[in-house]
Amino acid sequence: MTRFKDLIFPSDRSKSLDDFNTSYTIEYNSKKEARLVLEEGIQKLTDIQDKLYAYDKYALLIIFQAMDAAGKDGTIKHVMSGVNPQGCQVTSFRSPSEEELDQSYLWRCIKALPRRGNIGIFNRSYYEELLIVRVHPKILKKQRLPGITGKQAFDSKIWNERFEEINNFEKYLNNNGTMILKFFLHVSKEEQRQRFIKRINDPRKNWKISMSDYRERKYWDEYMQAYEDMLLSTSTPDVPWFVIPADNKWFMRAAVSEIIIKKLESLDLHYPELTEKKLKEIRKTKELLEKEE
């Protein structure tokens, strides 16, 4: 991951979110170059996904977190366009249902974890519990937690507990073969404004914009503080956060593609080695099939 080391949020807290430029493009010189990287990455991911499925010892969980209009949907669509749908599941987490509110906050995400050999993608995730719930603590009261009535929802104690719980949960997954990649798509407030206007001007995308999107912009500073606290507290050496500059979609997609491929390549995936008994069986099967002619 040397090429992308500057995008990793350090676990030693030596950087803040302000140190990450939303328009940074590393060594990419043009859109054309990034598109070629993405096209090559799509093919590589197709090939390596097949090995992941056959090897059947690891799963890959990819988490995307971002402000609205940062490009989560488009990145998933473009980067994963070549994968086999049978081995990849995308889960989008929106407002919890009544059933989900009757469970612990990790429950609905645990249900959606990928099986061994598969890739799971979370479009938003349990990290919403440290973001929108923190910016709008009234949401916490709906979770009917013991002891949470009024001011406790604003207490830092519960957020520190959740930082620890999530770190332990991810360590558990990592230890058991579910590798995790976490991407924060870092878009600027001005770029978000421009993308909202484009959605309004394009009738095909009107469904993606609402007044609530505008209202949430008023909490931009609160969200940035919540993101920074989240990154500081949950970017660990084994499961770091990648802060991906999102003002240039062409760079964002190419970078995410490269990081995913490098992670999968690091697992030394290969097709299962067949025993001599199995090889003999295959040769016999071929012989029988050829005799049918």
User: Over pLDDT 70: what percentage of the chain?
Assistant: 98
pLDDT band at 157 (very low <50, low <70, confident <90, very high): confident
pLDDT tens for residues 69-93? 999 999 999 999 999 999 999 999 9
What pLDDT digit, counting tens, does each position of 97-145 carry? 999 999 999 999 999 999 999 999 999 999 999 999 999 988 888 888 8
Question: Two tokens at 187?
Answer: 């878009």
Tokens of 66: 């971002």
Token pair recorded at residue 211: 């007044």
CATH number of the domain where residue 96 is located:
3.40.50.300
Residues 61-68, mean pLDDT to the nearest whole number: 98
pLDDT tens digits, residue range 96-109? 999 999 999 999 99
Give the domain range for residue 176. Answer: 2-291
pLDDT range class, residue 251, cuts 50, 70, 90:
very high
Number of domains in the chain: 1
Dump pLDDT digits (tens) for 269-278: 999 888 999 9
Q: Tens digits of per-residue pLDDT, 166-207? A: 999 999 999 999 999 999 999 999 999 999 999 999 999 999
Beta bridge partners of 60: 119, 179
Q: What is the pTM of this model?
A: 0.93
Residue 265 has a pLDDT of 95
Residue 150 has pLDDT above 70, yes or no: no
Torsion of CA 188, 133, 171, 91, to 10 degrees: -80
| Sign of the alpha-carbon dihedral angle for 222, 227, 228, 234 | positive
Question: Which of 285 and 149 is assigned the larger pLDDT?
Answer: 285
CA gap 230, 18 in Å, rounded:
14
pLDDT at 29: 79
Q: Torsions phi, psi of 277, nearest 5?
A: -60, -45
